[in-house]
Structure 1
């Protein structure tokens, strides 16, 4: 196959590109605008491969998209290009509307124009895979909200997001992603474009831009800076190792059914405070110092409209596509920390001139 991966220089996108090049015989056309979060250094392990091509293109640029489709003749599109940080969406929502909604619309139209000219057999085999987030569902009941004596540790008894959960986005980011999901499904129903949607839980792992919780805490801890905890730190997220996610996405685009939605989760519900303390305890072992890293934790004003709990039911992925995450939170987090410890140059380059770990979205 020849697969266009939009946002292939980003965190999840680069993991997808590396997975495809390293584990299949497929070709990848990486379409990325290279915003602050896109970094070609994340692809140095594959960028010399003859099956990999990079195109610096904005998904809002219809003429350039038409050129890419005509030149490369793809068999599938995996659409990951997006603005993705909730804090940034609070500070500047317009970029999220432009990229996540207008960009997805423009990509859908370019794809549809290309797809309409394919042979009947090629049209049937073609796939447009839209990668989205669990945040479109809003949030779920938190253990602290339960008044029937349920213990906070009994998260498995609380409701989970399924593929039929109603949308209730809370932030400009999640609202823009919800909008893009609706567009993708509408292009299937109205035009017949063969689309699939996936919604994932919080990803973590190597090459993660340090505005997000886990890489921010790792780097701040190493630099002796404060480790900011929003509110009480009791917000719960389901953590998914990015390489497990990449495997899942490739399985969906190659074996998933047109018109279906698949939820992809890591089966790891953790409170933010627990995540930060776990990082600190691992660093205490790997990079010991005179004091404990947890002493750098500080509590700060919570994010506006902060969702309290996300948790995904991945039963459909498991039963229909035979996918399960391979990493536990403990094994994945240790791999992540070890990667950051040995890739400080990447960490420095990705922040130079763009972001110095300041708080956004206040």
Structure 2
């Protein structure tokens, strides 16, 4: 079988195609046909002296030469010196293997970095060892791989951004925007889980209700902006004084709550007394004005002051009322229940 001549801009002389195909056999003919269809650079050289006998237009264009400037020359005359040893080594491997041999080559040519995958098929003709080579430019493939990698990276970034937005959206539904604390509904869910856990594991936890004491006339005169600043400060203090296992909540405009996991009444009282002092000494500024505020707190615990959620809440509210009755800026404890024998 003789390969058909290529189009004019990438053609071999018909006679040269016939000669190359007849001496190199069916494998080479198939490669010639494929190169012809794909427009790949292709050449046949004499393996004995390394000089090219046939070159198509694409191979000549690869070298930046006319076809007649390639035929009769060797790699040393056509390629940069650094590329020649690797080309020669690949040709020797192809001849030693005796079949289709593929190798990759990266080299500088005419000031440009090039990368090719080269298929070589050895053969004989007219008493000479011949070598057919078909060159596949890897640059378009590398560009596609790079574009794909960039697209995948962008997709990953979009997925991360979407996930972050989803988490933030979910958290916004669970948090009070002014204080950054949990909403009442989310806090109640956490308290139910804590109660179930404490019942199963026979451990204690504490519940604290607190309320902002009435503002001084000067702070009250500053209006809603002052109140918003105080609520924001209260949120920071609660977050800073609770652990990851605890939960804090803004119940309404002036009321807050804290759930202290695994903590008894005495420990809860000590921690809340420290928080009360921080509130009383906290510096909150608005338009150059210092805003003072204090809080009243009521502390109850499970199971020492209550045996269920409703009882616990009632005990906590009663303790808070006692703190307010004492004049505010106070931590009051719920009464411990004693079981009758």
TM range, smaller chain: under 0.3
TM-score (norm 1): 0.21
Higher radius of gyration, 1 or 2: 2
Q: Which has the higher strand share?
A: 2
TM-score (norm 2): 0.22
Q: Choose between structure 1 and 2 for higher RCO, CA contacts under 8 A separated by at least 6 residues.
A: 1
